[in-house]
Amino acid sequence: MNLIELLVEPLTYTFMLRALAVTIIAAVLCAILSCWLVLIGWSLMGDAVSHAVLPGVVLAYIVGAPFALGALVFGFLAVALIGGVRDTSRLKEDAAIGIVFTTLFSFGLVLISVTPSQVDLNHIIFGNLLGVSAADLWQVLIIGAITFMILLLKRKDFTLYAFDPTHAHALGMNPKLMGAVLLGLLAMTSVVALQAVGVILVVAMLIIPGATAYLLTDRFGTMLVIAPVLAASGGVLGVYVSYYLDASTGGMVVLAQGLIFVAVYLFSPRQGLVASRLATLRRRRALSTAG
Amino acid sequence: MSSQAQHPWAIDVQNATVHYGPVQALDHATVQLGRGMVCGLVGMNGSGKSTLFKTIMGQIKPDTGSVQINGQDPQQARKKGMIGYVPQNEAVDWDFPISVREVVMTGRYGHMGFTRRPRKADQRAVDEALERVELSAYAGRQIGQLSGGQKKRAFVARGIAQEASIMLLDEPFAGVDKRSEATITKLLREVADDGGTVLVSTHDLHALPQLADEAILLMRRVLMHGDPTRVLQPENLAMAFGLDPMKRGGQ
């Protein structure tokens, strides 16, 4: 089998086409959002919100509402609870986050276990790329398009919010509202990504691409290009490899993104470990010859 | 400009009291600043300097008292871009992937539309502001790759590009060498000479008389507000920094 056949063969299956479509949409969306999350320092918050949407999604399934709605409600509930516990007790934020999201996530697990359903709700937890239905794909497309447009149009405001919220306030903007919008987009994006890799691994797609891009450039605008390109490449690679190895698709997608991060972490021209070690060595050698 | 000129004070804080839980940070503070002047804000850590800044910027609503900016509600004043501010060193993520020019450009956001796409006038204002603070050659650098003094000037440039009539600077001389300090002082004097109002919190008391037309001694209350050389008299400073000169003299 030559390379072209290798690439084309999976595409003859509708389920593979849908899997690739959802992977690319989810990867691009998560990657763009992750650029802000990484810079604001919201990685843990991304972890929390993406897990806490689980009961919302299950409840939405039970009453027949859109998943995004349930996710939004529980995403905001999680953020409110985290803020509440942090501000009204002596606990620090990381403890508040840990308590709130695991409790909500467990609530979701319990709901799943007692809900009779035709579709396997376990797919929400581990993702079900190969079982994406046409309706799922539509939902991903619609949520993805809305989120993408908001992020694209207001990207400069979000970047200002991440860099200097006080200045945003001084210009008469509302930083609290901007933060809330970002968290809402985070909840919506979680719904898209959980189709691909499941609730547990969504957080990976929300952190890895932004972190990888941050190690490659000093320009936020460039990050917004690098992150989605790398994330989508990793995603497509993961789907193909999982097809031929018959391995977990969601797992393989995140594994591919993680391996790309490792490569960049080691070999990034300026921020990479190898480059900075070499630079240190060179400096030392220069010093010793000068001395 | 005409409506601004009608009102006597650029910054008018009346009787502001602020609490953080049980801790009182400001105690009936009244601060009135005119136009075309630099005012130094002096006080020890915890004397309420940052709280006063936050009150002026409307980040904190005082329990009692009121704030007016150029005779207007602070929210209106902010929307009109009247207030520029230069953050403390510790408040900035210097690794943030943003260039000097992009930082200065954020000063123009109030002048731009929904998506903040810069127009020619914005580009020109940023170019001019960068030139004013002598950072044109560094416009493309990542913000963290500037020296301490250059970083401060970049944020002053942001205020200039914003066309802010009021500039608030929280400890601009911390971690800045003497030469840069002189450059920043000259720059702030120019902003004042153009009719701006500059409020600077500082620990650098020696440089204050060259920099400021007025000084405020703060210890939750406004202990003193007047000519810098008078405010900086040792007995006054002792009061602000919690020493009692009479007692010390007796020992």
Question: Which of B122, B5, B133 has the alpha carbon at shortest distance from B70?
Answer: B5
**Residue B109 with chain A: CB contacts under 8 Å:** 156-157, 160, 171, 173
**Residue B75 with chain A: CB contacts under 8 Å:** 172
Q: Alpha-carbon distance A252 to A263, whole Å?
A: 16
Whether A159 has its CB under 8 Å from any CB of chain B: the answer is yes
Contact A219 B97 (CB under 8 A): yes
- Residue B107 to residues A209, B53, B68, B112, B168, Cα–Cα distance (Å): 29, 18, 22, 10, 14
Contact B85 A167 (CB under 8 A): yes
Contact A172 B92 (CB under 8 A): no
**Residue B85 with chain A: CB contacts under 8 Å:** 166-167, 170
Whether B238 has its CB under 8 Å from any CB of chain A: the answer is no
Whether B109 has its CB under 8 Å from any CB of chain A: the answer is yes
State the pLDDT at residue A275: 87
Lookup: tokens for A228: 């989605």
Whether B81 has its CB under 8 Å from any CB of chain A: the answer is yes
**Residue A154 with chain B: CB contacts under 8 Å:** 115
- What spatial distance separates the first Cα and last Cα of chain B, rounded to whole Å? 56
Q: Alpha-carbon distance A19 to A123, whole Å?
A: 14
Contact A166 B91 (CB under 8 A): yes
What beta strand segments (E) does chain B contain? 11-20, 23-33, 37-42, 64-69, 83-86, 166-170, 197-201, 214-219, 221-226
> Is residue B1's pLDDT more than 80?
no
Phi, psi (5° rounding) for residue B142?
-65, 140
Whether A162 has its CB under 8 Å from any CB of chain B: the answer is yes
State the pLDDT at residue B250: 38
Q: Alpha-carbon distance B131 to B125, whole Å?
A: 10
B241, amino acid identity: F
Question: Which of A41, A32, A81, A44 has the alpha carbon at shortest distance from A188?
Answer: A32
The contacts of residue A129 (CB under 8 Å, 6+ apart) are A19, A22, A23, A195, A196, A197, A239, A249, A250, A253
B67, amino acid identity: V
Phi, psi (5° rounding) for residue B26?
-135, 140
CA gyration radius, chain A: 21
Phi, psi (5° rounding) for residue B39?
-120, 130
User: How would residue B2 be classed by pLDDT, with cut points 50, 70 and 90?
Assistant: very low
- Can you give the pTM of this predicted structure? 0.90
Whether B118 has its CB under 8 Å from any CB of chain A: the answer is no
Lookup: tokens for B105: 């450009």
> Is residue B246's pLDDT more than 60?
no
Whether A153 has its CB under 8 Å from any CB of chain B: the answer is yes
**Residue A223 with chain B: CB contacts under 8 Å:** 97
Interface-testing mutation among B102, B151, B199, with chain A (most A C-beta atoms within 10 A) = B102
**Residue A151 with chain B: CB contacts under 8 Å:** none
Instruction: Give the ipTM.
Output: 0.90
The pLDDT profile of chain A, 291 residues, written as one tens digit per residue, is 688 888 899 999 999 999 999 999 999 999 999 999 999 999 999 999 999 999 998 999 889 888 888 988 999 999 999 999 998 999 999 999 999 999 999 999 999 888 877 666 678 888 888 888 888 888 889 999 999 999 999 999 999 999 999 999 999 999 999 999 999 999 889 888 888 888 888 999 999 999 999 999 999 999 999 999 999 999 999 999 999 999 988 999 999 999 999 999 999 988 888 888 888 888 888 888 765
* Distance between A104 CA and the closest CA of chain B, angstroms: 31
Write the residue in B83, B97, B114 that is nearest to A220 by C-beta: B97
State the pLDDT at residue B44: 86
In the predicted model, what is the mean pLDDT of residues B102-131?
Answer: 95
Write the residue in B83, B116, B142 that is nearest to A170 by C-beta: B83
Q: Yes or no: say if A175 and A167 are a contact pair by the CB < 8 Å rule.
A: no
Percent of chain B with pLDDT over 70: 94
Lookup: tokens for B27: 């105690």
* Distance between B44 CA and the closest CA of chain A, angstroms: 23
3-state helix, strand, coil in chain A (%, to 5): 85, 0, 15
The contacts of residue A82 (CB under 8 Å, 6+ apart) are A45, A48, A93, A96, A97, A100, A101
Interface-testing mutation among B54, B96, B199, with chain A (most A C-beta atoms within 10 A) = B96
β-pairing, B37-42 vs B64-69, is: unpaired
Write the residue in A163, A166, A169 that is nearest to B93 by C-beta: A163
Whether B106 has its CB under 8 Å from any CB of chain A: the answer is yes
**Residue A166 with chain B: CB contacts under 8 Å:** 57, 59, 85, 87, 91
In the predicted model, what is the mean pLDDT of residues B144-165?
Answer: 95
Q: Yes or no: say if B38 and B198 are a contact pair by the CB < 8 Å rule.
A: yes
**Residue A88 with chain B: CB contacts under 8 Å:** none
Locate the chain A residue with the closest alpha carbon to B155: A167
Write the residue in B84, B97, B116 that is nearest to A218 by C-beta: B97
State the pLDDT at residue A262: 97
Phi, psi (5° rounding) for residue A2?
-85, 180
* Distance between B245 CA and the closest CA of chain A, angstroms: 39
Whether A90 has its CB under 8 Å from any CB of chain B: the answer is no
- What spatial distance separates the first Cα and last Cα of chain A, rounded to whole Å? 61
Write the residue in B85, B96, B110 that is nearest to A172 by C-beta: B110
